Structure 1
């Protein structure tokens, strides 16, 4: 971290000792500031407040945010509130957006670190598809139009933000490549209801995470749908291609809002998943918090991933209709990415056009797996024992016949 930021964090520690209240997040203050900065006051109901209040309380109690982390978290939560205000306002001023039909969206899920980003990037190259781009997800409204979607000034702001993140945590790009104009996780849209997994990647908030696993996600998916309707109202789309591992945690709510959704579930050796998740989240937390308990963080995410595959499988069993889900092995995706896409299309009765295929092949040539460096990690560096992880995830591995990978 640059010396100037280290000094900033040091000053923040001193301020915390003198004025503890000034170094805490305040949900009411965040709401008031968002309303003031947008000149809007209608959040479309107050259902989002439970998630916001629980998140803020958990961060204050558990995250140990640094001075930089406190500034970043205030800005992040404020931007999320502002996004919600603008979406609700746009929908009020343009009531026709609620008539937009979101038909049979492709939803990519799986535990984190299973290749969902790669698959999402490939699907977005098909002219029939539209993904939520990183810059769009944080500033849904006003929606981009066909005339300005390549020159919207919000793109430049998002590029600058990605650049700042690259300087703060340069290792992250090798772990999880990001860019303002690439597809991103639609988990950001769920965050508008403050029911989202991605908040937990920035700092410890285990109490919030425990609540998230059992909360009613239907309102979050309804806001998610409203965001898609707003974006679709100005740029028509044949089919949305979306992704986030977080879908696994709440498939019942997803299908309640998107009953014709087509799910692609990517499966990967849990030993590799847990180690990779621990490595990524340790790096992210170190950027924003004073201390990081990497072993404790690894155990939390190990258990979260196990919970996800367990409740995801249970939701499938309740539906009893596996035709709506395509199971894809990570090993197959890595060996033949474009062929894996073709398999998805065949399962759902879609046609992979020659143009889309050529674009995907070109993307893979331009973006080899190690383009930004290799992400290396082991389980023992996080205090985890392989045999314990194998035993915990044994039923999942057996059910989906997930092949082992090993470590290189």
Structure 2
């Protein structure tokens, strides 16, 4: 087989983006369970969480999350394109994170020593979605001196009971079942952003517990919430994340954390305030390439969440949102000095991953032992790029976005960080 034929076999083209094929499973997900409401008030969400948490009713001293929840619910009501099933999924997620908050507060109340746990020099990875952050965090997590966060653990951070010898954590089982069903409906997701319950995940879920996570935006179109989010200080929410990290460390150490999220890119100042001894690594990629990839991933999964799907509106939304994120990053970048931070250009990262590894370890003051080096290099061998196939993107044809005009929007970012334009 020729190289061209092999490449074509590995290419994934999603040709029904604007008019998706709706399978019976997708139709059922769009409709949602008939006996479950798709609208709730703040008090109804909190009451449901209290029931699911076995009667726990203390959400903590800081009740500012209630206002953020009210804004979130109103923004979802204004998103007319959401399917009924999508609304139910979002509400279920909202209830779950409030259940988590109840368990966090209950555990800390019973074990106040948790708040004395030091979170030692955490290593934060920030960067645009689709800029290599997932690869980097999963790669570095091979170093067991760093505490990292699995997807299933992020979804349910409090272990409610001791496990029997050899028992698989039921939290991991629940997560694996949920994401297995999701990927069965959307088989190309593995090539874009696989959701393996055991993989290392973003700490976005920890910010959800204070209702300040930007990931709602991946599942809905909520301009009201975005405006509110940028108009308010997010530092207290990162302080709440620190409390959750202390709980997770209490369950299982070590206490030096490896964390990552694109959202960190627009919260550099807040993170520096809450975690002053941290190391910040920021990946940078051509935002046009990011848009191609991100809109395709979200547009593909929108067939579950939206009817109609409207790819051009999705692309315009994320063009605006990424510009806003990058402007915040440029404005706040000086919060971190060169002794605690590094900017990693995507094209340099892909060209020489070992050099990036050594740079990060040197910055973080971590000794790169021969044993750790072997573990890290082994990960690269096991996880080549495009392992599950390469998705073909068409930002202009499918999403109606003029790339040249869009690129002009990011001139300020190209001037600050010399990322390579990806054609």
What TM-score do you get using the length of structure 2 for normalisation? 0.88
SS at match of 1:193: coil
Q: Please name the residue that 2:82 is paired with.
A: 65
Residue equivalent to 1:33? 48
**1:8 Cα shift?**
6.8
User: How far did residue 67 of structure 1 move?
Assistant: 2.7
Q: Conserved in 1, the CA contact under 8 Å of 2:279 and 2:363?
A: no
CA shift, 1:274, in A, is 1.5
SS of the aligned residue for 1:130 comes to coil
Contact 2:29 2:304 in 1 (8 A): no
1:380-406 CA-partner distances (Å, limit 9, x unpaired): 021111211221111211221111222
- Give the number of equivalent residue pairs: 399
* CA separation of 1:98 and 1:143: change in aligned 2, threshold 3 A: farther
The superposition leaves residues 63-89 of structure 1 with CA deviations (integer Å, 9 ceiling, x where unpaired) of 532232133122211111111111111
* SS of aligned partner of 1:107: strand
Residue 204 (structure 1) aligns with: 221
In 2, Cα distance between the equivalents of 1:183 and 1:28? 33
Choose which of 315, 318, 325 in structure 1 pairs with 2:341.
Answer: 325
Q: Which moved more, 1:149-158 or 1:360-369?
A: 149-158
Report if the CA contact (8 A) 2:114-2:250 is conserved.
yes
Q: What are the superposed Cα offsets for residues 349-400 of structure 1, whole Å, 9 maximum, x if unpaired?
A: 3222222221222222222222222122122021111211221111211221
Give the SS at the match of 1:91: helix
The 1-side partners of 2:249 and 2:165 are apart by: 14
TM-score (norm 1): 0.91
Residue in 2 aligned with 1:237? 254
| Cα deviation code 1:269-308 (max 9, x no counterpart) | 1210111121122223332222222212212211211222
C-alpha change, 1:7 and 1:224, in structure 2 (3 Å) is: closer
Measured after TM superposition, the shift of residue 176 of structure 1 is 0.7
In the alignment, structure 2 segments of 5+ residues that lack a partner are 1-21
Question: Which residue in the other structure is 2:4 paired with?
Answer: none
Aligned residue runs from structure 1 range 16-55, under 5 A = 22-38=37-53, 39-45=55-61, 46-55=63-72
Task: Give 2:175's aligned residue.
Answer: 158
Give the 5 Å matches for 1:108-123: 108-123=125-140
The residue number in structure 2 matching 1:334 is 350
Aligned partners of 2:228, 2:300: CA distance in 1, in Å? 24
Q: Which of 100, 105, 124 matches 2:122?
A: 105
SS at 2:390's partner residue? coil
Which 10-residue stretch deviates more, 65-74 or 43-52? 65-74
Partner of residue 177, structure 1 = 194
Quote the RMSD (CA, aligned, Å): 2.4
Hey, which of these two has a bigger chunk of helix by percent?
1
| Structure 1 residue 136 corresponds to structure 2 residue 157 | no
Which residue is 2:359 aligned to?
Answer: 343
2:19 equivalent to 1:3: no
Residue aligning to 2:378 = 362
